[in-house]
Amino acid sequence: MARKIHTPPTATPLMTLSDVAAYLQVAERTVYLWSHKGELPGFKLGNVWRYNRAEIDAWIETSRAATPRRHA
């Protein structure tokens, strides 16, 4: 009988490059380039990119804080 692999309920599923592109509303090529340059937090599993949603959300907040704002 094969054993089932148990994933803890707190584990966050990984996002694909396509998932991240849709989430950020940018082209997949843009996500790939940012990932390849190390600008976007992600890692390769074999030959495909994978992303943790919490890290993407933190990256968004860091980018938002670094964006200059004009004061009216």
Q: Kindly state whether residue 59 falls inside one of the protein's structural domains.
A: yes
State the average pLDDT over residues 19-34.
98
Tell me the C-alpha to C-alpha distance, in Å, between residue 69 and each of 21, 35, 39, 59, 64. Answer: 25, 26, 21, 18, 10
Unique residue bearing structure tokens 């937090």:
41
Contact indicator for 15, 53 with CB cutoff of 8 Å: yes
Q: Kindly state whether residue 60 falls inside one of the protein's structural domains.
A: yes
Residues 6+ apart with CB under 8 A from 43: 49, 50, 51
Whole domain around residue 21: which residue ranges?
14-64
**Mean predicted lDDT score pLDDT of the chain:** 89
Report whether pLDDT(11) > 70.
no
Backbone angles phi, psi at 5, to 5 degrees: -90, 125
Q: Kindly state whether residue 50 falls inside one of the protein's structural domains.
A: yes
pLDDT digits (tens, 9 = 90+) for 46-57: 999 999 999 999
